[in-house]
């Protein structure tokens, strides 16, 4: 009875058995269900995007609208690589967002796929020279890529040769085992029981080789073939499962069995297992000889030598794609391009071609004439997109990027119009569409409308200004801060002299070196080029010409970014003197 009560108490959750923990666990689960975390509300809405990565610049689409002419021209130049020939060097020009890099990557992917299809050794290596902007880094990155590819090739070849070696060794072991178990003729005669002459006469007559009845001596395969042939034939006597059958017995007269598989070395360049072993040792030595190049610390000529040996290790055609090639020339000169464009004359096994991509149409003006002549063998220009072309591109991407009817009809035309106003920048159009989708998703709406696009336009513009202003040098920040202070004091059409006067006072307050007025004028021109200010040269008649300067970015947001700099945060109390002037 006590056991029954105890059992009853346990099931009621009163005892100390595991049944007691049931109620707290249920309460804990209820608490978890009732509590809402930080991201629960954000995840409650339906996502608008199906694949957001399609709208990013790094994505390479399977189809590039309105770039078929440029793609076909690149393909006709690079097709010679599939024939084992050296393609002409290519220079690709065009403004930002005109599809240069995407088209080049698309052609490169097609080239590598076709080379794999026809078993032609052809490779494309991509380097972004805005990041890898020195000769050492370019050569080191290329060297390490080819060293890695060589290691992969050597490892695959070693696996094949090791398997071949094991199969040949297994066949030789089977042959030796078969020879060891086969009794000799002397041993057979000794074990044979003695027979009388009468019994011998009663035996079947021996085989004859003709009508004359002459006995034929038994022949063996070893008497009629050379020793290497014996090795192959004896292996072929053994079937794949190791059992002998009637179909696997060699013809004693010829020593060859045509019904058995060939020896593993028959269709290889090796004549013995020792040759296979020697080749394996050579490949292992080659693999150990390739030393990875560190990103710093070696002499440049040593890095070039390692790169040269790595790329020339096997037969192949290599296309080196240098994106933002003008950044490399600007940072480290044209030595890298000279070495790459001239190395074909020294290579024995491989061939190298260069594909350069640049936003600057005039960067070749700074190249050595020899480099310019060899590098610019073929030139392809990518014109800016117009609004209709941008609309097609956005429509093509949006079909994959968004779900169902997530876009209102006026979204894509508005994004295309905004991007076409600048210089046909497809990258800007894609950023607009993606940012509009993100804003709509954050507001938990199911459809992207025109207002989201306009908000995205303002956000992107502000983000660009913030990033540009934040990364300006200190002297440029002081010049820009001088212009902002003049506008805050009601001065319009600011001239260079007024900016320079306030700039000098700010430098004195911050204990900073004061640049000359000519240098400050250059800094104003740089701000104009970045789109932060608008500087127009106007004529004052007999008083000469001057620059009239005005701010092109939001004043308050720009001032906040400038004051985030620790050095400029101390100029709160500075009230510069604004010179009175008489304007016509």
Cβ atoms of 320 and 125 closer than 8 Å? yes
CATH number at residue 418: 1.10.8.60
186 is in an annotated binding site: no
Cα maximum dimension of the chain: 151
160 and 178 share one domain: yes
438 and 548 share one domain: no
Q: What is the mean pLDDT of the chain?
A: 79
Domain boundary among 285, 302, 319: 285
Cβ atoms of 103 and 63 closer than 8 Å? no
In a domain, 42, yes or no: no
For 158, 291, 311, 376, the CA distances from 152, given in Å and listed in that order, are 10, 14, 14, 34
Mode of pairing for the β-strands spanning 533-539 and 350-358: unpaired
516: tokens are: 């000359």
427 is in an annotated binding site: no
76: tokens are: 């006709």
Query: What's the total number of domains in the chain?
Result: 4
101 is in an annotated binding site: yes
Is the confidence at residue 306, as pLDDT, over 60? yes
478 and 461 share one domain: no
545 is in an annotated binding site: no
563 is in an annotated binding site: no
SS3 content of the chain, % helix, strand, coil (to 5): 55, 10, 35
pLDDT digits (tens, 9 = 90+) for 352-406: 999 999 988 888 887 888 888 878 789 999 999 999 999 999 999 999 999 888 8
209 and 235 share one domain: yes
Name the residue with tokens 């050569």.
139
Name every residue whose Cβ is closer than 8 Å to that of residue 45 and which is 6 or more positions away in sequence. 441, 444
Cα distance between residue 331 and residue 319, in whole Å? 23
Q: Reduced to 3 states, what is the DSSP secondary structure of residue 380? A: strand
Task: Please report the pLDDT score of residue 579 as a whole number.
Answer: 53
242 is in an annotated binding site: no
Task: Please report the pLDDT score of residue 182 as a whole number.
Answer: 67
Mean pLDDT of 530-551: 81
Name every residue whose Cβ is closer than 8 Å to that of residue 287 and which is 6 or more positions away in sequence. 150, 151, 154, 155, 158
Cα distance between residue 437 and residue 446, in whole Å? 10
Cβ atoms of 484 and 574 closer than 8 Å? no
* Element housing 277 (H / E): helix 273-289
Cα distance between residue 465 and residue 484, in whole Å? 14
**27 exposed, middle or buried (CB, 10 Å; 0-12, 13-18, 19+)?**
exposed
Q: What are phi and psi of 353, to 5 degrees?
A: -130, 150
559 and 504 share one domain: yes
Q: What's the length of the chain?
A: 584
In a domain, 254, yes or no: yes
Task: Please report the pLDDT score of residue 32 as a whole number.
Answer: 52
pLDDT digits (tens, 9 = 90+) for 518-534: 999 999 989 988 888 88
- 247: containing domain: 151-285
98 is in an annotated binding site: yes
pLDDT-based confidence at 22, cuts 50/70/90?
very low
């Amino acid at each position: 009875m006590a056991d029954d009560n105890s059992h009853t108490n346990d099931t009621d959750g009163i005892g100390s058995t595991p049944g007691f923990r049931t109620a707290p666990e249920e309460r804990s689960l209820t608490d978890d269900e009732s509590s809402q975390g930080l991201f629960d509300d954000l995840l409650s809405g339906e996502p608008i995007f199906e694949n957001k990565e399609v709208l990013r610049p790094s994505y390479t689409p399977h189809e590039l609208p309105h770039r078929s002419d440029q793609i076909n021209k690149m393909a006709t130049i690079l097709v010679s690589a599939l024939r084992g020939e050296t393609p002409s060097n290519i220079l690709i020009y065009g403004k930002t967002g005109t599809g240069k890099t995407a088209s080049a990557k698309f052609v490169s992917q097609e080239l590598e796929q076709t080379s794999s299809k026809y078993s032609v050794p052809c490779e494309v290596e991509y380097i972004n020279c805005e990041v890898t902007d020195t000769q050492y880094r370019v050569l080191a990155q290329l060297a390490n890529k080819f060293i890695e590819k060589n290691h992969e090739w050597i490892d695959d070849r070693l696996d094949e040769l090791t398997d071949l070696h094991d199969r040949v060794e297994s066949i030789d072991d089977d042959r030796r085992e078969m020879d060891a178990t086969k009794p000799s003729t002397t041993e057979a005669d000794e074990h044979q029981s003695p027979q009388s002459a009468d019994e011998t006469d009663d035996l079947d007559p021996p085989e004859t080789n003709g009508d004359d009845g002459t006995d034929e001596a038994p022949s063996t395969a070893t008497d009629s073939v050379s020793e290497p042939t014996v090795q192959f034939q004896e292996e072929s006597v053994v079937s794949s499962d190791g059992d002998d059958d009637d179909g696997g017995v060699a013809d004693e007269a010829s020593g060859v069995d045509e019904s058995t598989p060939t020896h593993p070395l028959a269709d290889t360049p090796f004549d013995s297992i020792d040759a296979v072993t020697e080749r394996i040792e050579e490949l292992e030595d080659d693999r150990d000889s390739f030393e990875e190049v560190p990103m710093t610390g070696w002499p440049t000529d040593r890095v070039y030598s390692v790169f040269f040996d790595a790329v020339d290790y096997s037969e192949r055609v290599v296309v080196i794609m240098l994106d933002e090639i003008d950044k490399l020339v600007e940072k480290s000169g044209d030595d890298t391009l000279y070495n790459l464009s001239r190395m074909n004359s020294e290579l024995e096994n491989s061939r190298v071609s260069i594909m350069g991509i640049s936003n600057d149409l005039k960067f070749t003006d700074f190249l050595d004439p020899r480099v310019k002549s060899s590098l610019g063998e073929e030139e392809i220009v990518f014109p800016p997109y117009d609004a209709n072309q941008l609309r097609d591109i956005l429509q093509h991407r949006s079909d994959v990027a968004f779900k169902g009817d997530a876009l209102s009809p006026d979204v894509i035309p508005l994004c295309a119009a905004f991007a076409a106003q600048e210089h046909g920048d497809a990258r800007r159009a894609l950023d607009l569409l993606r940012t509009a989708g993100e804003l709509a998703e954050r507001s938990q709406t199911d459809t992207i409308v025109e207002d989201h696009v306009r908000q995205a336009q303002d956000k992107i513009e502000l983000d660009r200004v913030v990033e540009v202003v934040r990364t300006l040098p200190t002297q440029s920040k002081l010049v820009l801060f001088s212009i902002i202070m003049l506008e805050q004091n009601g001065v319009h059409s600011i001239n260079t002299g007024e900016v320079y006067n306030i700039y000098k006072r700010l430098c004195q307050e911050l204990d900073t070196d004061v640049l000359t007025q000519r240098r400050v004028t250059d800094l104003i021109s740089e701000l104009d080029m970045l789109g932060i200010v608008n500087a127009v040269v106007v004529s004052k008649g007999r008083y000469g010409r001057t620059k009239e300067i005005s701010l092109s970015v939001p004043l308050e947001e720009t001032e906040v970014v400038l004051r985030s700099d620790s050095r400029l945060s101390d100029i709160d109390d500075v009230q510069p003197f604004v010179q009175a002037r008489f304007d016509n």
